[in-house]
Amino acid sequence: MSSSLLSSRAHAGNTQQQQVDVQSQFTTLTQRIEGIARAWDSNVPECRFQHYFYNLVDPNQVNLYGRPPNATNETLWQKAVRENPDPTCLVPALAVGF
C-alpha cells in the first residue's frame, strides 16, 4: 500500500474516534444539564430545595396528620420522621422551593 492510502485510512479512523468523543461529551453534558434542571424543579423528588419543618399541633390531633402529598422524596421523609424532636405534638411539614 502506498503511504497516502495508509494516511487516508488513519485520518478516517481519527475522524470516527473524534465523532464518538463528541457524541460522548454531548451525552454527558446533556445529562449534567438535565441534572441541574431537576435540582431546581420543585415538582421532582431530586429538587435540592426541600426542607422539613415541624408544625406544632394539638397532641390529640397528631394522628390526623400523615405524609403530605408533595413529600415524594422517600429518604427525606424518613429522615424527617426519624428526627422529629417531639412526635407527640410535632408533625413534619415540607417546604419546597427557594
Q: pLDDT tens string for the chain (98 positions)? A: 555 555 555 555 677 777 778 888 999 999 999 999 989 988 888 889 999 999 999 999 999 999 988 888 899 999 999 999 999 999 999 999 87
Residue 80's contacts (CB-CB under 8 Å, 6 or more residues apart) are 52, 71, 92, 94
Report pTM. 0.63
Q: Is 51 strand, coil or helix? A: strand
